[in-house]
Amino acid sequence: MKVREGLIPAALGTAVTAAGVAIKPISPKVSWGIAGFGLAHILLGAIDLVGHRKSYV
């Protein structure tokens, strides 16, 4: 099975963001830091997904 480049970082970023939001009641500052790292992974994965599209023209 071939996985598109950028899909794994985007999925990882989603999981990390969800984990960061889930721990918000415990420690808000740490939560925002973890959520920020997750959002950065989502952004970088999306850039890879869009940047490595194959053109069929």
Angle between helices 28-51 and 7-22 (to 10 degrees): 160
Whole-number pLDDT of residue 2: 79
Whole-number Å distance between alpha carbons of 49 and 57:
18
2-57 pLDDT, tens per residue?
777 889 999 999 999 999 999 999 999 999 999 999 999 999 999 998 887 765 55
Region of 6 (left: φ > 0; alpha: ψ -120 to 50; beta: rest) is left
Compute the Cα dihedral for 12, 16, 40, 50 and give only its sign: positive
The domain total for the chain is 1
Q: Is residue 44 part of a domain?
A: yes
Q: Is residue 12 part of a domain?
A: yes
Q: Is residue 34 part of a domain?
A: yes
Q: Is residue 40 part of a domain?
A: yes
Whole-number pLDDT of residue 4: 79
Q: Is residue 1 part of a domain?
A: no
Domain extent for 13: 7-51
- 54 burial (CB, 10 Å; 0-12 / 13-18 / 19+) is exposed
